[in-house]
Each structure stands twice: as structure tokens, then as C-alpha cells.
Amino acid sequence: MENEQTYFTNIQKATGLATPEEPQLNAAQLEAVTTTEGFVRVIAGAGTGKTRALTHRFAYLVNDLGILPGNILCVTFSNKAANEMRQRIRRVTGDNDTGYICTFHSFCVSVLQEDSHAVGYPQSFLVLDNADIDAMLQVIYDERKITLREKTFSKARDMIEILKTIERPDYYLDLISLPLAELKQKYLDARRVDDIIFYGYLYQQKKCFGLDYNDLIIITLHIFDHFPDIALKWQQRLEYVMIDEFQDIDALQIALMEKLVEYHRNLFVVGDPDQTIYTWRGADVRYLLDFADAHEGCKTILMTKNYRSTPEVLGVANSLIEKNKQRIPKRLEAQRDVHGPTVWHHAKSPEEEAAWIAEGAQKLHEAGVAYRDMAVLYRAHYASRAVEEALMQVKVPYTLYSGVPFFGRREVKDALSYLRFVAYQDDLSFARVANVPKRNMGQRRMAFLREWADEHECTLYEALEQTIDDEIFKRTKAKQLLELVERFRGQFEGRAVSDVMAAVLNESGYDRMLRTEGSQERLDNVAELKQSIYEFETTCGEEVTLEHYLSHVALLTNADAMDGAADKVKLMTIHAAKGLEFKHVFLCSMSEGVLPSKKTRTREQMEEERRLAFVAMTRAEDGLYLTEAEGFTHKGTPRFPSRFLLDIDPACLMFSHKPDQTALEAARAAYAANDQWIAGMSTDVRFRQGSRVRHAVFGEGIVEEIDMQKRAYIVRFDGLDTTRAISFRVKLEGA
């Protein structure tokens, strides 16, 4: 047993490194850059410089081969990654034109803004986020007297997604083809709660020409499938297609990708099967594993030289992930000659575990490590509570990446709604800003407008224009709202979006309202939003229209708004940490039933949990600290160290405190029993979530959930209003 002081002091050598000059491309990176034609698959391990390879490949195509940037599509999986890549490419090429560097959804927005006329949609369609969807659901629930007890908004959103992607994949035909009146009638005729919500949602979408994330790809595919001239235009335009993080791709994105490369057949994909951690979102590790078999003449390039982590960190990560079967064998090779600690800390209690992490962060900081260079990662949010309390106790500053995303905060949504309102005068924005600040436009007057709008088949804004002289709007500031829109309606063309935002918030009285309220946090959030708009304008490299910005911001996530500047320890889930790196990583709550999750019921799920642990470990550059604690679960069973700790070669680890041998033997016995249970369980499960099935009595339905604890399918049958739990013992047929 070594003294824990060893791990946190006298480590300047490992952490105070000068940033070396950017090295030349290694052989594998160079091969990836210069292999331009046909199908290319790059298996790039964590920290092997895949983003650098992508950037240089883009530059090689443009600078050396003379390809126009506008003829290249480079797909990333976050807007933040797209922005960073644009900046890198601009530095390398010296050209503001960076082609299509974007997410799949952003690319579809570009297609639809050019070709939505094919399905009768205007260029000014709305991209809906969850807050917009919830606002639509609220209208439906109020109109049809649906309660949250019957279905929460979250469940309703999930249900809509399942219906759109699995059970009713042709739903979009109603959305784009049916007249508004017919769609409304479908909504009014619906009797089952799910049908009411679904058709009500489609009706609300149609009213404002709103499209959600699913619609963007599905309708783009529909246009490509039914309008060959439009498909050919885009296929010919995109001479080279590159896709980053290919292990995260889903079936719809695969279909879009295959369609786009039909003409030139130049497709470059880069990813790592060992980092497939989003199967619950539709990702499938087999898409990358089987890519070469599916594309004749495909060339595979392995990138294994890791520039991020110390040899010790990679030793831990390699010995863990080698236990998986669904992978392409490879070992990450450390390119750094510095050494850092990889520690397993076994604590007597969760409180002691958290205290050890907090003290470790303190000592690292005293040794010269900035707090911003440390991260505490965990499998699920609840694991952060004890760590937060411990950090507060020793006054270590931290920030928690959870809770309300930046772009979902009330004042940020308000400000963006004002922008959208002056651009589109849509119902969602109108409902949000009409009485913010107070204009005496309460529920009674809004109900009056909704009734008028329904009767006259117009928008809420048009309803207000038509009824502004009605007695009901006396002693209100409704007229000032109309005047505000009219002032800006013809003015925002050609103006910087940041200028429009500042002017609208000022003239609407919204800025004054925030200052009167005196909430510095809300004022700071609006200021941050204004700054983010300015940065977007300066990094885009092209003239940004208000419509362009509004489509962009609707696709942003919390991860896109992460602020790395503040000197605070970062607390986040492993999923949130994907794609990030930190000098020192504490991976906490590494107990069986937490990581891997107690919900793990199949061999495939266990491999994904191991990949999740691998992703967490490979975020670390200089130091990795794996912690767990004794105690009991809420069910009273003993808490064991995670099996993943025992997967690691002990020679790769230092121990600040090690479980005794008896505890380890008990843990191994528990793992063996669980593995046996999983093996038996796997043979019982015949259907996946989303499968259509037929029951001898209840008829056809869809599997909404699989309850492994109860050994039952949760099925929503077409002829029943509520779900049924059907035991594995009863034979179901595939429908």
C-alpha cells in the first residue's frame, strides 16, 4: 500500500508540461488524409488525433487537389465540434468558405431551406426543440382535458418519437400532404389518449410549419426518394462526404448517408467501436464493424498512436476494453514519455470516498493544477450528491453539467422567442412573449385569440391584428406589441443578428424587466447569449441571416454551451464527457450495480457498460483516479467493487486502499452468478423495444419497454387504451 500523498504532491513533472509544437502527421494519419477516393474506414482510438486527420484531409482536398469547399460535406455529432473544426480548417486553408461542416440535422436544415418547396413548406419553417414541443402539448392537454397523470410531457415526447420512427413511419405524409382542416379533424376525432396527443401534435406542427429533429431527416429522405432531380443535385454537389464519430450513427442517418454518396461514391468514415455508448439512441456498433463488408473495395486504416494520455492511463484502459468481444482488436500506444498516477481507491463509505476526491482536488490544485483541468465523472447524476457536499465542505469550486441546459433557461428562451417572433410571427413565440413583460395579456385574452384563430384559420398574431380594436384589448399593451413587430419586420434583413437581438430586447422592455427584477444570474445569461450570437457571426465566415441563426440555435445542446473558462472542477456524467479531455479524471462510484448499471440484462449491454468505463478512463491526460466504497445498497445487499476494476491488469494500478481478499472473492462470486443469470435471460428475450407483436387475445401492438426484473414485455396494443405487461412465458408472435 502506498501513501496517497504520492499521487497528489510532487507531480509538477507530470502536470506542468509545456505544450509541445504540433507534430507532423504520423503514417496512419497521413494515409487517412491522402486516401481520398472510394470508401475509407478509419478506426481511430481515443486521443489518436482523428479531428486533426479530418481537418488536414479537408485542407488536402481543397489546397492540394483543388476541390471547392462547397463540394465537401463533413458531418460531426455536435455543433460545438462543427464550430471547432471550421475554425481549424480556416486556419489551415486561409479560406472563410468551409463548405458543409455540420451535424446531420443541420445539414438537413440546409437542404430543406433550399428545397422544402417540394413538400409545400416555406423556407421559413420552424425547427422545434423540446420546449416548443412541450408548449404544443400544453395546448393539446388543455383543449382535450388530458392530465399529466395520464401521460407526462416526457412520456408523450418519447411516445411521439416511437410512433414517428418505428410504428407509423409514414406519419409525415399526413404532415406534408393533408390540408390543415383535415389534420385538425383527425385530431378532433381521436379518442385514445396516444392518438389525441399524436394527431394534436401533428396539427400544431402543421399550423406553424414546425419540424422536430425526427422530421428533419425523415422529410429530407422523402424529398430525395421522391424528387430524383433534387437528390441528384445534392449528390453531384457533394463530391466528398466525411463522417466523424461514425460509431454513434443511427439507421436514419445511415440511409441519408447512403443516398448522398450514390453519385460520387466517395465516403470517409472515422470512429471507434470501443466508444459506442449510445445504443439507447439508435446507435449500433455493427454499423462500423460491418462497414467494410457493406461497401465493396473499402480500405480500413487503424489509428492507434495516442497523444493524449500517459502510458499508465492507457495501460488501464487497454486491459479493460480487451475483455469485450464486439470490437476490432487494437491497443492504444502512448506517445507521451511522461508518467502519471492511475489509482484505485477503496473507501469505507460513500462519504469517505467523496472526501478523498475533494481532498485530492485540493492537493492537485496546491501542486499547480488548475481546477478547470479536473473532472469528476459518474454513471448517473445521483452519484454526484456526496461529491458536491464534500467539495463544498473544503471550499473547492465546482460546476455541475446537469439540470437546465443553457438554451433551455427561461430568460434565454424568452430572448430567442422575441427574435423568432419578429422573424416569423409564429404561435409558439407569440404565446411565450405576449405577456413578458406584463401587457395585461392573460389567459382570458389568449383564449379569445385562440378561438378566433381556430375559427378563421389564421395565426394568433393575425388574430390580434384583426381584433385589436375589440373591447377586450382596451387597457392592454397589445397594440404596442403589434407596433414592435411592425418596426422590426422590415428591418432585420441585412442587420447583424446580435444588433437585432439587442434592439428587440431593449424596445420590448424585456431588458428593463430583468433589471427591475434584479436577478444578476438572469442578466448574465442574456449577456452570455448575446456574446454567443456575436461569436457565431464571427466564426461562420459568411453573412448570417436571422433565419439561419434561428435554425442553428434550435439544434444546440447543453454540451454546445459548456464554458471551460471558469476555474472550477467539472462534474458530469460519462455520456456528457464524451469527446472531452481533462488533465485529471476522478471516476467515482465504480461499484457493481452503478457501473455497470443494475439495469444491464444482456451480454451486449454489459459490453456497452464496459465501453462506457473505457470512454471515462480515456478522458484523462495525466492522472486517473478510480474510486468506490463499501456499504449496502438501498435493498440491503452488500456493495461490491465494479467488475471493471477487476478486469484491469493489477500491474497498471496503484492502490491507496485495496479491498481485502475475502471481499474480492465474494465480488467475483456475485459477478459469476449475475453472468449466469444474464446468459439465461438472453435466451428468453425474443423481441426488442419497438418491435410489433401479435397476442392471441389482445391482437397486435408494439413493445414499448422490456422489464427484465419482471421478465415481461410492456406492450401497447392497438385495441387497448393502456399498456399491458405480458410475461415472457406467454408466446407472442412477430407482426
Secondary structure tally for the chain: helices H, strands E: 32, 22
Catalytic residue check, 688: no
Catalytic residue among 15, 55, 275, 467: 275
Is residue 399 a contact partner of residue 566, using CB atoms and an 8 Å limit? yes
Residue matched to cell numbers 465566415: 541
Mode of pairing for the β-strands spanning 267-271 and 240-243: parallel
Q: Which amino acid is at 59?
A: A
Q: What's 341's DSSP letter? A: -
- Please give the Cα distance from 140 to 145 (Å, whole number): 8
Catalytic residue check, 676: no
Residue matched to cell numbers 503514417: 27
- Please give the Cα distance from 670 to 177 (Å, whole number): 57
Is residue 54 a contact partner of residue 26, using CB atoms and an 8 Å limit? no
Catalytic residue check, 530: no
Collapsed DSSP state (helix, strand, coil) of residue 719: coil
Collapsed DSSP state (helix, strand, coil) of residue 377: strand
Catalytic residue among 132, 245, 352, 609: 245
- Please give the Cα distance from 118 to 114 (Å, whole number): 10
Catalytic residue among 50, 88, 330, 439: 50
Residues with Cβ within 8 Å of residue 418, at least 6 apart in sequence: 429, 433, 501, 504, 505, 508, 510
- Please give the Cα distance from 271 to 330 (Å, whole number): 13
Residues with Cβ within 8 Å of residue 495, at least 6 apart in sequence: none
Catalytic residue among 439, 568, 619, 643: 619
Catalytic residue check, 275: yes
Catalytic residue check, 618: no
Q: Which amino acid is at 460?
A: L
- Please give the Cα distance from 667 to 670 (Å, whole number): 5
The separation between CA 133 and the C-alpha centre of its own chain, rounded to angstroms, equals 17
Catalytic residue among 4, 115, 132, 244: 244
Is residue 380 a contact partner of residue 590, using CB atoms and an 8 Å limit? no
Range 652-673 burial, b when 16+ CB lie within 10 A, else e: bbbebbbbeeeebeebeebbee
Q: Grid coordinates in use for 252?
A: 436514419
- Please give the Cα distance from 112 to 122 (Å, whole number): 9
Catalytic residue among 51, 76, 459, 476: 51
Q: Grid coordinates in use for 179?
A: 390540408
Catalytic residue check, 50: yes
SS3 track for 94-148: CCCCCCEEECHHHHHHHHHHHHHHHHCCCCCCEECCHHHHHHHHHHHHHHHCCCC
Q: Grid coordinates in use for 198?
A: 399524436
Hey, which residues are catalytic here?
Answer: 50-51, 244-245, 275, 619
